[in-house]
């Protein structure tokens, strides 16, 4: 484990990013989920019903999962095709599938690094990136598929307190045209990116991106086997 991963694993004072009383259920969007392979989920309303009515049993659960997952759901989204020789399918964050409007809280104190409305079909939609310092480690957290209103009043450098409600989960189509959920990702090397960062990589680039995007559950601390 890297120094940051050891630090995150030993830090026990994170605020919950999504505060829900619902139990979490792990969702699988890889080829191992046979139910995906026989369905056309290109229509967002159909995809949303599949997630919340079927997989989450009429919204009984909150969905969780996806880190490092080789997902088949991106086949319906040209945004991930790239040059078609090296399409992107490896998910670099954790998704929390909850209703639109659900509050998003900062897990620890930070500052707004950047934000943007990534308005492509299948993209992040409204996105906020925070910068954090913890025990000498500087890193970032990314929040994608937010409501457009979450960007109101933001400026780079704005202080965000631990546990502060600073955003909300968005609805489609403004959230990148996805069923409502939060994409949460840790980034150790953000490079030149501003308001955006790859949330999905190609298989060829998987090892590199997972090395700079540690497991978000180090912060979330959510059991994925409910």
pLDDT tens, position by position, 172-215: 999 999 999 999 999 999 999 999 999 999 999 999 999 999 99
Q: Place 81 in a pLDDT band, splitting at 50, 70 and 90.
A: low
- Region 97-120: mean pLDDT is 97
Over residues 12-33, the pLDDT tens digits come to 899 999 999 999 999 998 888 8
Per-residue pLDDT, 128: 98
Q: What is the pLDDT of the chain when averaged over all its residues?
A: 92
Q: Please give the helix or strand (H or E) that residue 9 lies within, else none.
A: helix 3-10
Could you tell me the residue range of the domain that residue 142 belongs to? 3-220
- CATH code: domain of residue 167: 2.70.70.10
pLDDT band at 79 (very low <50, low <70, confident <90, very high): very low
Q: Is residue 52 part of a domain?
A: yes
**pLDDT at residue 15, as a whole number:** 97
pLDDT at 80: 45
Q: Residue 192 has what pLDDT?
A: 96
CB 17 within 8 A of CB 104: yes
pLDDT at 138 over 70: yes
Q: How far apart are CA 145 and CA 74, in angstroms?
A: 15
119, 175 contact by CB (below 8 A): no
Q: What is the Cα–Cα distance from 13 to 8, expressed in whole angstroms?
A: 10
Is 104 among the domain residues?
yes
3-class SS of residue 53: helix
Q: How many domains does the chain have?
A: 1
Query: Is position 134 within any domain?
Result: yes
Which one-letter DSSP state was computed for residue 30?
A: B
Model-level pTM? 0.94
Per-residue tokens: 157: 């450098």
| pLDDT confidence of residue 86 | 65
Residue 206: phi, psi to the nearest 5? -55, -50
- Residue 225 placed within a domain: no
User: Does 226 reside within a domain?
Assistant: no
Query: By percentage, how much of the chain surpasses pLDDT 90?
Result: 81
**How many residues does the structure list for the chain?**
226
Nearest to residue 206, comparing CAs of 85, 36, 86?
A: 86
pLDDT value, residue 104: 98
Residue 85 banded pLDDT, cuts 50, 70, 90: low
Q: For 139-171, how does the pLDDT look when each residue is reduced to its tens digit (9 = 90+)? A: 999 999 999 999 999 999 999 999 999 999 999
């Amino acid at each position: 484990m890297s120094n940051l991963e050891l630090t995150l694993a030993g830090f026990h004072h994170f605020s919950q990013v999504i505060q829900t009383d619902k139990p979490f259920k792990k969702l699988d969007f890889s080829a191992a989920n046979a139910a995906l392979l026989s369905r056309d989920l290109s229509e967002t309303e159909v995809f949303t019903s599949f997630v919340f009515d079927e997989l989450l049993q009429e919204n009984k659960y909150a969905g969780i999962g996806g880190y490092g997952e080789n997902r088949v759901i991106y086949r319906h989204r040209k945004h991930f095709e790239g040059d078609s020789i090296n399409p992107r399918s490896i998910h670099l964050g954790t998704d929390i599938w909850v209703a639109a409007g659900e509050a998003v809280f900062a897990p620890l104190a930070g500052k707004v690094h950047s934000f943007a409305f990534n308005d492509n079909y299948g993209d992040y939609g409204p996105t906020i990136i925070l910068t954090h310092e913890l025990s000498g480690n500087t890193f970032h957290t990314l929040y994608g598929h937010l409501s457009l209103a979450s960007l109101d009043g933001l400026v780079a450098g704005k202080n965000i307190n631990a546990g502060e409600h600073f955003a909300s989960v968005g609805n489609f189509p403004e959230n990148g045209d996805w069923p409502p959920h939060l994409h949460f990702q840790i980034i150790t090397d953000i490079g030149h990116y501003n308001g955006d960062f790859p949330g999905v990589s190609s298989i060829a680039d998987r090892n590199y991106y997972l090395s700079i995007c540690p497991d978000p559950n180090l912060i979330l601390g959510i059991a994925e086997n409910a």
